[in-house]
Structure 1
Amino acid sequence: MVKNEQQRLRLRLIASSLVELLIAVILTLAVTSRIRGLEDAVEGQYVKMVQARSELRDLTARLENAREDERKSLSRELHDEVGQSMAAMLVELGRVESTLSGGEEARTRLSSLRVQAEQSVRSLRDIALLLRPSMLDDLGLVPALKWQGRETARRTGLHVRVEAEESNDMLPDTYKTCIYRVVQEALHNAVKHSKAKSIRVSFQQTPSGMELEVEDDGIGFDPGTEKGLGLLGMEERIVRLGGELKVIAKAERGTLLSVHLPPVKRKGFQ
């Protein structure tokens, strides 16, 4: 009798264990299936995110190209059309001033008008050059970089040194525009934030690609916590060409912006 009870108890324990094991297997399968479903969903979202980021980058590139084309067109129009018209007006004002037989007051007013017109022509020229210097298209990257350095020094009083080889100029328009805009933004940031006294711009072409450096002796900053839109814009331009941007900055020890761009294939030259 006791043995029968023990046998029934064993059978119940075995049956209970089997039921628990079956429940555990079912739960494990359900959890595994759920995890796989979540992983597939996450992977799908990741693929969509990567695709969206790629599409956004392509859209940004197209917008940048369109903006550069518009800048080029507007700069040419300001320089060639409006600038030439104002220059002709200055010539006529000079002629009128030299032949004027009126009183001293009229001569003074005409002279003042001519000075204002000259200032307008200079302002117009500066705006056209800031939009996109014609020398970037007509003379090449290196003269444009050197002009940019001279203009920054003239406006701010900083000592700006540009080190670049003339032979480095055989580059596609996309590369020239990227390098020029990166230097422009770096100089702007240095002037506005760094409190520097001197800035060095170095550009050279090597077998492994192109190396660009912009270094100042200012107060520095923390790139990890103070990364503004300017740096993000530079990084986006550089990454679009397969390059890499590094910023080395230490408090009171200046900032070094280092850019590496891959070598250009001759097939892509414009």
Structure 2
Amino acid sequence: MSHAPAPHHDAREALDDGADFFDRPVNSILQAAREAIVMIDERQSIVAVNAAAEQMFRCPAAELLGLPLAALVPDAHAERHAAQVHDYLRSHEMQQHLAAHRRILARRPDGSSFPAEITLSVVAARGAEGRPHVAALILDRSEQGRLQRELDAFKRRLRSVFELAPVATWIADNERVVFANQAAERLFGEAGGLVGRPVYELLGAPSRDALRAQVARALQGEPDVQVVRGHVARADGSQREVEIALAALPDHGRTTVQMVVADVTEQRREAAALAESREALRRLSASVVEAREEERRRIARELHDELGQRLTALKMELAALRGAAAAARDAQIENMLGMVDETLASVRRISTDLRPMMLDDLGLHAALEWLARDAARRLGIEVTLQLDEHEPVLDDRVATAAFRMVQEALTNVARHARASDVQIGLHAAGGALQISVRDNGVGYPDDALRREGSMGLIGMRERAALLGGHAELSNPPGGGALLRVQLPLAPEDKENRA
């Protein structure tokens, strides 16, 4: 610990000088001042201090008076400081220079030191016989230094947060990028290559004018700066859709623009996918309504054309039977029995089209065997059915969906495939039901496969998705078309859907 030197000359003499150094009004002002004031004589001895100086140096005035001014400066600076004050006292030409603020390291009598700012000026003292005295106004800059260190630390933390922020951000003047964080470099796919680049070249040409206009608004301090939308080109040639928000940022006397860049590529894709899904749902709803109306027309036509006509004919036969001779009745009865058989067959066919009873009574395997035989008979083609030896226990919704999708696939074969052979597979494995329907026909055009409304694919996909499964239609190698469906054996029982 450093110790203050002994008084420079007779301390009692300095105390006497300090006691009547100022007039009473001036002394009152001196004591009321918030800044520390220390008066020294031409021998650089302290002759007066105010209360603020006592508080700053943590020492009563009685112990400060008579000390050399060098006692308040660390030893390493004391000699040079004393020489400067000596020159100042000898030459008034230095007054303006030394009257300016100077930063020094001050020392308390207890040995502790602190950064200070000192201003020296010559004063005339009462009874001092014209001898010059120097007033030293001292400001403690310890708090200022602490605040500056905290500010510097805050700036470092802020820069670190800025660097590590997940959103791409860069700062630019009116022409070039002056700072870019790591997320911005990742967005462009290049490290350290953004700083210095022309800011408007970062955005695609169609949006550059809009960006230039909004940068100008931000630099002018306008509050309603708008988000700029466009795309940026990455180093690998790919493009990303972005939205740029801007804000003016004062920086060392100049105004720069901070740009926060949100990569909305995936968001746009998801929005497009959502819009496409909604459109597909709309088409599905329309196709369901259309299919319902078509089914009603078909049922009405068959009831009228087949059942109605046969029942009318049967009625006419019965009426004729009344007056017929006994010999002719047997032939008429046989004819009527044939009409009844045909009518019953039509009723069974219409009922099966609406809902095959054997699916409920005998299970999915038996229903598919009937469906395969019926398709082979109607279409005149070979239909091969490959089933597991043991039929799995299926949820009714799964069995119905499997039957309907195979039925829809056979309808597609009849309408589009021009096939001579169809292979149907149904296997249970790993908690899922695997269904495949493959034909040896001409396949489907690629654009038809892309259009989900084609070949009833949207309906099959939606039916499978409702059960937690999926359906895909493709043109496999070797020709023809292939429908693959996977359904869970036990879907989640959230609601009764089929």
TM-score range, shorter chain: 0.5 to 0.7
Structure 1 residue 268: Cα displacement: 7.8
Task: Give the CA deviation at 1:103.
Answer: 2.3
- 1:137 matched residue in structure 2: 360
1:229/1:153 CA distance change after superposition, 3 Å: closer
| Cα distance change of structure 1 residues 265 and 187 upon mapping to structure 2, 3 Å threshold | closer
| Residues 26, 46 of structure 1: alpha-carbon distance in 2 compared, 3 angstrom cutoff | farther
Q: Which of residues 417, 424, 430 in structure 2 aligns to 1:201?
A: 424
Within a 5 Å distance, the mapping from 1:85-96 to structure 2 comes to none
Q: Is the 8 A contact 2:467 2:491 kept in 1?
A: no
Larger-gyration structure (1/2): 2
TM-score w.r.t. length of structure 2 = 0.37
Q: May I ask how many residue pairs the two structures share in their alignment?
A: 221
Q: 1:223 to 1:263 in 2, by over 3 A?
A: farther
One-letter identity of the residue aligned with 1:230: G
Aligned residue identity for 2:465: V
Task: Please report how far the alpha carbon of residue 244 of structure 1 lies from its aligned counterpart in structure 2 after TM superposition.
Answer: 2.0
- Aligned partner of 1:148 in structure 2 is 371
Counterpart Cα distance in 1 of 2:385 and 2:495: 25
Shift in Å at residue 33 of structure 1?
A: 7.8
Matched, 1:182 2:384: no
Alignment of 1:23 onto 2:212: no
Cα separation, 1, equivalents of 2:372 and 2:354: 16
Q: Is the 8 A contact 1:235 1:244 kept in 2?
A: yes
Equivalents in 1 of 2:493, 2:457: separation in Å? Answer: 30
Moved more, 241-250 or 28-37: 28-37
Q: Kindly provide the amino acid, as one letter, of the partner of residue 333 in structure 2.
A: L
The whole-number CA distance in structure 1 between the counterparts of 2:474 and 2:215 is 60
Out of 240, 244, 256, the residue aligned to residue 470 of structure 2 is 244
- Per the alignment, residue 50 of structure 2 pairs with none
Return the letter of the residue paired with 1:108.
Answer: A
Alignment-derived partner of residue 162 in structure 2: none
Residue 203 of structure 1 aligns to a residue whose secondary structure is strand
Shift of 1:195: 1.1
- The residue identity in structure 2 corresponding to 1:23 is A
> 1-side partners of 2:463 and 2:380: how far apart?
29
- Structure with the bigger RCO (C-alpha within 8 Å, sep 6+) is 1
- Given that 2:443 and 2:479 are in contact with CA atoms closer than 8 Å, whether structure 1 keeps it comes out as yes
* 2:435 counterpart (188, 191, 212): 212
1:99-141 superposed Cα distances (whole Å, 9 cap, x missing partner): x97123x333332222122111111111111111111112211
Please say if residues 385 and 424 of structure 2, whose CA atoms lie closer than 8 Å, have aligned partners that are also in contact.
yes
Report the counterpart of residue 392 of structure 2 in structure 1: 169
Q: Distance in 2 between matches of 1:113 and 1:22?
A: 92
Q: CA deviation at 1:229?
A: 5.0
Contact 2:419 2:440 in 1 (8 A): yes
**Where do 5+ consecutive residues of structure 1 fail to align?**
1-16
SS of 1:130's partner is helix
Does residue 192 (structure 1) correspond to residue 415 (structure 2)? The answer is yes
Opposite residue 32 of structure 1, the aligned amino acid is: V
Deviations 1:120-164 (A, max 9, x none): 111111111111111111221111111111111122221111111
Of 327, 331, 343, the match for 1:103 = 327
Decide which structure has greater helix share. Answer: 1
- Aligned equivalents of 2:364, 2:340: Cα separation in 1: 31
Q: Residues 140 and 169 of structure 1 are in contact (CA less than 8 Å); yes or no, is this contact kept in structure 2?
A: no
Q: Name the SS of the counterpart of 1:108 in structure 2.
A: helix
Alpha-carbon separation, structure 1, partners of 2:327 and 2:392: 56
Partner of 1:127: 350
Identify the range of structure 1 (244-253 vs 115-124) with the bigger mean alpha-carbon deviation. Answer: 244-253
Structure 2 unaligned runs (5+)? Answer: 1-174, 176-212, 230-242, 246-263
Displacement of 1:242 in angstroms is 2.1
Other structure's SS at 1:174 match:
helix
Shift in CA distance, 126/116, structure 1 to aligned 2, threshold 3 Å? same
- Pair 1:230 & 2:230 matched: no
CA distance in 2, matches of 1:221, 1:145: 24
TM-score scaled to structure 1, two decimals? 0.64
Q: Which amino acid aligns with 2:460?
A: M
Which amino acid in 2 is paired with 1:146? E
Structure 2 distance, partners of 1:252, 1:265, is 34
Aligned position for 2:486: 260
Aligned to 1:11: none
Letter in 1 for 2:464: I
Sequence identity, in percent? 29
Name the structure with the higher strand share: 2
- Decide whether the 8 Å contact of 2:476 with 2:482 is kept in 1: no
